[in-house]
Structures are given as C-alpha cells and as structure tokens.
C-alpha cells in the first residue's frame, strides 16, 4: 500500500468538488477513485488524472482505498455503499446528516465491529468545528442545552427577505445557485435538515440516539414579508432554530426544529446570510457560542478535509478507531411531545372586522389559560377582513392549541395563517 493516505471520493457536487480542489496538490493524500452518478456531466475540476466511476460500490470494494469520503448525500444506495465499505475495513468521512441522523447508531456499531471510524464534522454547522468540539473539546462537561441556527439556506432566505425585501422564491433560488441548499430544497425549507442536525447534536449532547420521526418540525414556508415586518415592529427577528434540552427531571428531552421570533438584542438575531450559530451550555464551561459559515463549497470542504487530516494522523496510532466512536447508549432518548412544551407565541390571524371580535379572541384565550402580552390590528381589506396579531406569555402548547381550536370555530375567524414560537 502507498505511504499516502488513499481516498475514494463518493460524490462530486458542491462539496465533493471543494474537497478535490483542496486536496489535489496535497502530497499526503492520494485520490484513488471518484464515484458520481453521471460520468458525462461537465465538471468544475479536470478529471483526467482520476479514475472516475458511476458504480459507487467499486470504491467500497477497492482494496487500495483506506478512506471513503462520502459527499453524495441521501440514503438508499449511498448508505449501502457506506455499510459495505465499513465491512471491508474502510474508514468513513461523511457530510451526510440524513444518514447519520437516521442510521448513526447502526453505522457506529458496524464501525466498532470492524475497527474503523466514522467522522462527520461537516454534517452539522458547515465549516464550524462543532462536532469535534462537542465530541472532544467539551468532554469534561454535562451538556444541558444545545440550540441555535443550523441551516444556512433558511437563514439566507430569511435575511434576504428582511434586508433586501426579496420574495421567498427568489431568495431560495439564490441559495440553490450558491450551493447552500440540499439537492431537494424541501429538506431545508420544511425543516427536515434542522431535524437531522438537531438529532445529531442532541444524541452527542445526551449520549443517546434520538429518533428523527419523534422530533417536532415546522418549516419557514408560511412566513410572509408581513410576519418579518411585524416581528421587527415588536422587537424581534424570525430565525429557523434547532433546540435540544432535558425537561427538568422527567428523563425526557425537548428536541425540535421550528422558526422562532428572536429578540433583536439576542446574539442569534445578528446571525445573517448563510451563517450558523450554536449555543452549547456545559456544566463546567458555561455557555459557548460557535458561529461561522453553515454551508457552501469551501466552508463545508474545510470541515471534510479537516476530518481527513485528523483521520490521517490517527491512522498512525495503533488501535485508535474506538477512541473516536461517539459515546452512545443503546436506548433512544425519550422525546417530549410538543404539546407538553411551554412557549410564548406570535399568532397572526384574519378575522371579519366587526364589533366584538377582539373580545371573543380574548375570551377564547382566557378560557384556556392563555395570557396575552400584546394584540394589534393591522389594517382591513376592502372585503372587510382584518389582520390581527396576538403575542402571548408563556403557556403550555396544549392550552394554546385548545384556544386556537376555539378561535378557529368562531364565525368571525377567516384563517390563522401563522403561529410561531417566541424565544424568551
């Protein structure tokens, strides 16, 4: 075998291209093969020097490859290739949050069995060294909370809608053109990407896997320019947030992915464009905030190549692999249902502009113990439909839903287009 660390690169899109550009002249590494779906596609990098295949299993079966760098994304075949590569004794470096969130425990167990390791720094936080910080830098701590902005595409869209007054669709197109969005951007805008990332962060923080299907999610597609403007008027900025924290002594973990109104003075409100920022509360260190570019070719390639260097150094040590496996119990986290959580809320609703409406809203809220912090009416259409915004104090989600149920049944209510939680 060569004295260089030998790599098989699975995927040559935004991230894979960045990885090849960063590595191609590095004497420490040799790219033995690159797998893509379509060998005839025009590429940003000259592939003349590389063996290129459209059969990713070739990488998993090549005895001359030590490390598979999986930057293809998705599950299905890619997951099968990773499993086979592990079985064949290859180390894995991956940027694939969906695969780690859904199949992490089984992948880590297989890696343990075959004495190889799996690095996934780029899976959360793009270029921010977040996973290694949680896995190694904060080992002395019991983590009590992880929360922040972990999706670059939605942060970019919300920033463009607010600052440049761009329509949602245009901002999304830009995020795609810049290489921030997932192959299917629904994963970004409907919250799946944040679900995968917060599942990974929660499982590292609380050392138990989190089932992604149990995580509450809400995307950003319902949010309009009006919500952004009203949030500003109330002293907030809307941000897509991932959050994970234990619920008192119940043994449950509150894990969720949804947009929130963040007070303008909060550091998360100042995180703009593709940037991410994550707060981690540790028992020894206190509160740490890490921020930086959360997506894009070179920031993400930086994280992947960082993993490659770390792995190459570790390869020189005997029997190193098990030291890099995430500490993980076999039982999954008990996720607290969203109905049991307590939040403050922003509610935008449309009602008929007739006498008594405000009183009825107040009554429905009062009946279910929802205390109002603010209420404003914003204009009336020619058809006599008024936009009303309510801000509530902290209340249990189930009580809020009961109040909203009553409000929906009132004959004067036309629609409740947006309900958002507020970060206090």
Residue 268 binds to ligand NAP (criterion: CB under 6 A): no
Q: Does 104 bind ligand NAP (CB under 6 A)?
A: no
- Compute CA 78 distance to the chain's CA centroid, rounded to the nearest angstrom: 20
Extract the tokens encoding 328.
């993980």
Q: CB neighbours of 270 closer than 8 A, spacing ≥ 6? A: none
The footprint of ligand NAP on residues 360-399 (CB under 6 A) is: none
Do the Cβ atoms of 71 and 10 come closer than 8 Å? yes
3 state DSSP class of 303: helix
Q: In this chain, which of 7, 8, 16, 101 binds ligand NAP, going by CB under 6 A?
A: 16
Q: Is 96 in the site for ligand NAP (CB under 6 A)?
A: yes
Nearer to ligand NAP among residue 73 and residue 191 (C-beta): 73
Q: Which does 151 bind (CB under 5 to 8 A by kind): ligand NAP, ligand HSE, none?
A: ligand HSE
On whether the CB atoms of residues 165 and 226 are closer than 8 A, the answer is no
Rounded Cα–Cα distance for residues 68 and 162 (Å): 41
Q: Which of 178, 197, 239, 396 is catalytic?
A: 197
Q: According to CB under 6 A, which one of 5, 7, 11, 361 is a site residue for ligand NAP?
A: 11
Name the one range near ligand NAP by CB under 6 A: 36-44, 136-144, 155-163, 335-343.
36-44
Q: Which is nearer to ligand HSE, 196 or 346 (CB)?
A: 196
Q: Which C-beta is closer to ligand NAP: that of 158 or that of 370?
A: 158
Nearest to 198 by CA among 128, 151, 133, 230: 151
Bridge partners of 53, per DSSP, are 35
Q: How far apart are CA 117 and CA 391, in angstroms?
A: 48
**Beta-carbon contacts of residue 297 (< 8 Å; ≥ 6 apart):** 14, 15, 17, 18, 179
Cα torsion 77, 80, 86, 92 to 10°: value is 30
Residue at token pair 């809608």:
161
Q: How far is CA 280 from CA 116, 134, 142, 355, in A?
A: 29, 9, 10, 48
User: Of ligand NAP, ligand HSE, none, which one sits near residue 72, judging by CB under 5 to 8 A according to partner kind?
Assistant: ligand NAP
Burial degree of 213 (CB within 10 A; 0-12, 13-18, 19+): exposed
41 near ligand NAP, rule: CB under 6 A: yes
Residue 128 beta carbon to ligand NAP: minimum distance, rounded to whole angstroms: 11
Out of 2, 28, 64, 77, the only residue in the binding site for ligand NAP (CB under 6 A) is 77
Choose among ligand HSE, ligand NAP, none what residue 190 binds, the Cβ cut-off being 5 to 8 Å by kind.
none
Q: Are 43 and 12 in contact (CB under 8 A)?
A: yes
Among 24, 37, 165, 322, binds ligand NAP (CB under 6 A): 37
CB of 25 to ligand HSE, least distance (A): 26
The alpha-carbon radius of gyration of the chain (Å, integer) is: 24
User: What is the rounded CA–CA span in Å between residue 273 and residue 132?
Assistant: 24
Cβ proximity to ligand HSE, 125 vs 246, nearer residue: 125
Residue 127 or 246: the one with the smaller Cβ distance to ligand NAP is 127
DSSP, res 43: -
Count residues near ligand NAP (CB under 6 A). Answer: 30
Say whether 197 is catalytic. Answer: yes
Nearest distance from residue 405's CB to ligand NAP, in Å? 37
Q: Is 336 helix (H, G, I), strand (E, B) or coil?
A: coil
Identify what 183 binds: ligand HSE, ligand NAP, none; CB under 5 to 8 Å per kind: ligand NAP
Interface residues with ligand HSE (CB under 6 A)? 126, 151-153, 180-182, 188, 193, 294-295
CB-nearest residue to ligand HSE = 153
Choices 5-13, 199-207, 220-228, 315-323; region in contact with ligand NAP by CB under 6 A: 5-13
For ligand HSE, the closer of residues 119 and 180 by Cβ is 180
Residues that bind ligand NAP (CB under 6 A): 10-16, 35-38, 41, 56, 71-73, 77-78, 95-97, 122, 126, 179-180, 182-183, 295-296, 300
- The residues carrying an active-site annotation are 197
């Amino acid at each position: 075998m060569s004295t260089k660390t030998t790599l098989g690169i699975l995927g040559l899109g935004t991230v894979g291209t960045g990885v090849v550009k960063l590595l191609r002249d590095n004497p420490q590494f040799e790219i033995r093969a690159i797998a893509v779906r379509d060998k005839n596609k025009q590429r940003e990098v000259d592939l003349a020097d590389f063996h290129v295949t459209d059969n990713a299993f070739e990488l998993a079966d090549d005895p001359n490859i030590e490390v598979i760098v999986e930057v293809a994304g998705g599950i299905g075949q890619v997951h099968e290739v990773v499993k086979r590569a592990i079985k064949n004794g290859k180390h894995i470096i991956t940027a694939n949050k969906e695969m780690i969130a859904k199949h992490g425990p089984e992948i880590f167990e297989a890696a343990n069995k075959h004495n190889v390791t799996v690095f996934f720094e780029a899976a959360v936080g793009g270029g921010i060294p977040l996973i290694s910080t949680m896995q190694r830098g904060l080992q002395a701590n019991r983590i009590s909370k992880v929360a922040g902005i972990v999706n670059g595409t939605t942060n970019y869209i919300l920033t463009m809608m607010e600052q440049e007054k761009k329509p949602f669709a245009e901002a999304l197109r830009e995020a795609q053109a810049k290489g921030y969005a997932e192959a299917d951007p629904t994963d970004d805008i409907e919250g799946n990407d944040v679900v995968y990332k917060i599942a990974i962060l929660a499982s590292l923080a609380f050392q138990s896997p989190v089932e992604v299907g149990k995580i509450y999610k809400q995307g950003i597609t319902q949010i309009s320019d009006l919500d952004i403007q009203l949030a500003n008027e109330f002293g907030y900025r809307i941000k897509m947030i991932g959050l994970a924290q234990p619920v008192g002594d119940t043994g449950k973990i509150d894990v969720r992915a949804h947009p929130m109104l963040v007070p303008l003075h909060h550091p998360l409100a100042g995180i703009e464009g593709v940037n991410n920022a994550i707060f981690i509360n540790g028992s020894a260190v206190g509160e740490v905030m890490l921020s930086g570019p959360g997506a894009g070719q070179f920031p993400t390639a930086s994280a992947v190549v960082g993993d490659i260097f770390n792995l190459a150094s570790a390869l020189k040590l005997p029997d190193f692999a098990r030291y890099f496996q995430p500490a993980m119990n076999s039982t999954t986290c008990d996720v607290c249902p969203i109905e049991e959580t307590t939040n403050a809320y922003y509610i935008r609703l449309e009602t008929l502009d007739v006498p008594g409406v405000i009183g009825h809203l107040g009554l429905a809220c009062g009946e279910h113990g929802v205390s109002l912090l603010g209420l404003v009416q914003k204009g009336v259409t020619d058809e006599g439909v008024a936009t009303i915004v309510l801000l509530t104090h902290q209340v249990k989600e189930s009580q809020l839903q009961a109040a909203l149920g009553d409000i929906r049944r009132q004959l004067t209510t036309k629609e409740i287009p947006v309900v958002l939680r507020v970060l206090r």
